Structure 1
Amino acid sequence: MNAPQTSPATAPAAEATNPKRRRALTALAAVVVLAGLGWGAYEWLVASHYEDTDNAYVQGNVIQITPQISGTVMAIMADDTDFVKAGQPLVKLDPADVRVAFEQAEANLGQAVRQVRTLYANNGQYTAQIALRQADVAKARNDIARANDDLNRRLSLNGNGAVSKEELDHSRAVLDTAKTALAAAQASVTAAKEQLVSNQSLTEGTSVDQHPTVLAAAAKVREAYLATQRAALPAPVDGYIAKRTVQLGQRVTAGTPMMSVIPLNQLWVDANFKEVQLRNIRIGQPVTLTADLYGKKVDYHGKVAGLGVGTGAAFALLPAQNATGNWIKVVQRVPVRIALDPKELSENPLRVGLSMDVEVDIVDKSGRMLAEVPREAAVTQTSVFHSLDEGADAEVARVIAANGGGSGKLAAAAKAAPQKLAQAGSAVAH
């Protein structure tokens, strides 16, 4: 027996009279409306107060250890992952070459001191020569007076025939010889005075240890002394060793990268925000960060330290050439530097290159987008290299005093030099 057929005209009426279906549609519509209102409220009240990105990476100072002199590697004192303290030796070079250069510089300084001492001694010698030549002038004048008297006496007797013509000629010749001797003696005095003036121009207004020749030789000693100190390469800061490439016995030249020291207490984060996200980001705004290394269990807190002055593409090794061929707009990103809390870094250390999730609280927009005040203090610095030349002055003073003849200040410097060298440490001994 066939079922009764429902006409098409009566189907909508049947659906409209179905209360369950109507309630389900109404509930679904209500849920959609409430979800939209909730999302809008969240976007307006919460999400609009933050900018976030997962394109962020930990950055830090990667300090390359490079030699300042050439040499052969004798010892490697640290390897990858090792922690080193500032001033700790990392690599030692063969000091034979620099030791020879240092000894040669010392010899040249000693020779320079003795040559300058000779200049000062010549002042007395030239002064004595002037006195001697002036005595010759006085003697020549006496000889002229005596020869002139002899000639006058013979001329007075010439009329009586008591003096021959030959004797008169002889007296005239003696007088002429005396005059010639006087001229020669006067010329000798002038030459001696010129020699004294010339020598005094090399010595006046200075002492032996401050003479330009001695100072130039002393500078060479200091240079050679520094080279002996630089045969050992110290760690400039506290940090961890990475990228060690130097090998034992390797011949290295100045500037050759050997290894890197990374201070993990001086890290920051570069967060690459889209250009449309930079409208409300300001310097000083608080930032919350999480690292994939620790997950959501560890939160880092920092502040916006600065905004980059160009996009990553602008500073790329091969920047995009948008004026050629077809062009498709690509949203650019700008690096934003975020300073981290040092205490949190010490409790949960990070590594250079780790990825981070960054969320910036942009409620406070009173800060600046770009820094306006120049940085007064150094970004980072070390005092490890300041003490390398401490013993150079003492060594210079010792060499000058040893070749100064034990006079005055030079003798006092000779007594003080061993104490200074004991405090600074002798480079050659090491």
Structure 2
Amino acid sequence: MDKTTQDYTATDKIITRITSWTAIVILIVLLVMGIRIITDRFRYQITNDAQVQEYINPVVARVSGYVKEVRFEDNQQVDQGDTLIKIDPSQFLLLESESAEATANAGAELSVLESNIMTAARLASVSESQISAARARLTKQEKDYSRYSKLFAAESATAQQLEAVKEALDIARSDYESALGNYRAALSRIEDYRSRKAGLSAEIRRRDAVQKRAMLDLSYTVITAPYKGKMGRKTIQNGEFVQANQTLANIVNQDADKWVIANFKETQISEMRTGQPVLIETDAFPDEVFHGQIESFSPGTGSSFSLLPTDNATGNFVKIVQRIPVKIKLTDSRQHTGMLRAGMNATVKVIRHP
């Protein structure tokens, strides 16, 4: 055997040995992975169709106007009460000032009415006293007329005297009717003033409500953080016109707990129960294991709540395994779950036999 053949044979042996060991290592790895997968399938119900969720709320403009100042940046940490956006308050200041002046004017009119009511009440009191005096004079004249009528019948008084008494009686009766009319007119004026006062009081309350609304709208020009959280993307700039109810930004509530929504196949949930322990792994942190427990099950499949639910009665039916959203509460401390972000993909393992 020559030297070339000997070298080729030695090389073949080395390659064969390396290939054999490599194959053995690969086989062992595959066996370990297979055993682990089989074990996991036996111990857990698993799905990788899961996402981390947390409360993401919009920051909405409650009044229309031009943006005067934006006080946050992308992904900025904010505390409850921090000013986020200021809207130009000029028009709202004018409205508040106008409503305040209108309220003050109505108050002055009410004071005048109250003064008129007091004056009319005093006049009514005077008229009432005049009625008493007129009634007394009328009573006296009636008695005089009765007496002179008897005297005239007995021919003890002349017709001229009787006519004079009759004239005085008519004057007394007229004075009494005049005093009574004046009193009734005074009472009528009082009622008129009181009616106007009631209407003006209602108008004052309306104007006061308008003023309070103007002050409320003025307060809405300063938009603050409703709670401690983290701002999303900044999408507005100074000078931009915004409409009422327009979403200006989004804020993630960091005071609330996070949770996971796992979409399990309908064939997997038969053994699941509320309170069952769960292991959670995320793609972002593959070396971290988070713990949780099942909090609730969706009342329907995901497709049932879609915008256009499928209609299996169309004749083109293809059976597809449906998925049931399961809400999983994270039981780890907030310090541990603080690294998680909304929308992160996760793998959820529900322990079959805790």
TM-score range with shorter-chain normalisation?
A: 0.7 to 0.9
Correspondence for 1:418: none
Deviations 1:305-353 (A, max 9, x none): 1111111100111111211132110000011111124525556512211
Q: Please state whether the residue corresponding to 2:305 is helix, strand or coil.
A: coil
Letter of the 2:61 counterpart = P
Structure 1 residue 48: deviation in Å? 2.9
Aligned residues of 1:58 and 1:356 also touching (Cα < 8 A): yes
Question: Which residue, out of 167, 175, 180, partners 1:181?
Answer: 175
Please tell me whether residue 356 in structure 1 is matched to residue 350 in structure 2.
Answer: no
What is the RMSD computed on CA atoms of the aligned residues? 3.5
Aligned residues of 1:158 and 1:164 also touching (Cα < 8 A): no
Aligned residues of 1:140 and 1:181 also touching (Cα < 8 A): yes
Question: Which residue, out of 218, 223, 237, partners 2:213?
Answer: 223
Correspondence for 1:376: none
Deviations 1:107-157 (A, max 9, x none): 233234334444544443233122211222133235435655776798758
Correspondence for 1:254: 244
Correspondence for 2:276: 285
Question: Which residue, out of 227, 231, 236, partners 1:241?
Answer: 231
CA 274–139 in structure 1, closer or farther in 2 if over 3 Å, else same: same
Question: Which residue, out of 74, 83, 104, partners 1:80?
Answer: 74
CA 142–120 in structure 1, closer or farther in 2 if over 3 Å, else same: same
Correspondence for 2:288: 298
Letter of the 2:67 counterpart = V
Letter of the 1:128 counterpart = R
Q: Please state whether the residue corresponding to 1:314 is helix, strand or coil.
A: helix
Deviations 1:262-315 (A, max 9, x none): 1256321111000010011111111111111122x1111111111111111001
- CA distance in structure 2 between the partners assigned to 1:278 and 1:357 by the alignment: 16
Aligned residues of 1:116 and 1:213 also touching (Cα < 8 A): no
- CA distance in structure 1 between the partners assigned to 2:273 and 2:236 by the alignment: 44
Q: Please state whether the residue corresponding to 2:348 is helix, strand or coil.
A: strand
Aligned residues of 2:292 and 2:332 also touching (Cα < 8 A): no
Correspondence for 1:398: none
Letter of the 1:52 counterpart = I
Report the more deviating stretch, 284-293 or 175-184. Answer: 175-184
Give me the TM-score of the superposition, normalised by structure 2: 0.77
Question: Which residue, out of 310, 326, 339, partners 1:320?
Answer: 310
- CA distance in structure 2 between the partners assigned to 1:272 and 1:147 by the alignment: 107
Number of equivalenced pairs: 320
Q: Please state whether the residue corresponding to 1:81 is helix, strand or coil.
A: coil
Correspondence for 1:124: 118
- CA distance in structure 2 between the partners assigned to 1:193 and 1:58 by the alignment: 77
Runs of at least 5 residues in structure 1 that lack an aligned partner in the other structure: 1-34, 365-430
- CA distance in structure 2 between the partners assigned to 1:64 and 1:272 by the alignment: 26
Identity %: 26
- CA distance in structure 2 between the partners assigned to 1:356 and 1:42 by the alignment: 17
Letter of the 1:358 counterpart = V
Correspondence for 2:61: 67
CA 349–151 in structure 1, closer or farther in 2 if over 3 Å, else same: same
Runs of at least 5 residues in structure 2 that lack an aligned partner in the other structure: 1-30
Report the more deviating stretch, 236-245 or 68-77. Answer: 236-245
Deviations 1:74-96 (A, max 9, x none): 11111221111111111110111
Structure 1 residue 191: deviation in Å? 3.8
- CA distance in structure 1 between the partners assigned to 2:194 and 2:72 by the alignment: 57
Correspondence for 1:269: 260
CA 250–71 in structure 1, closer or farther in 2 if over 3 Å, else same: same
- CA distance in structure 2 between the partners assigned to 1:293 and 1:51 by the alignment: 21
Letter of the 2:273 counterpart = R
Structure 1 residue 217: deviation in Å? 3.7
Give me the TM-score of the superposition, normalised by structure 1: 0.65
Deviations 1:11-58 (A, max 9, x none): xxxxxxxxxxxxxxxxxxxxxxxx9xx96x996x76333111110011
Q: Which structure is richer in relative contact order (CA contacts within 8 A, separation 6 or more)?
A: 2
Correspondence for 1:405: none
Deviations 1:48-76 (A, max 9, x none): 33111110011121110111112111111
CA 342–240 in structure 1, closer or farther in 2 if over 3 Å, else same: farther
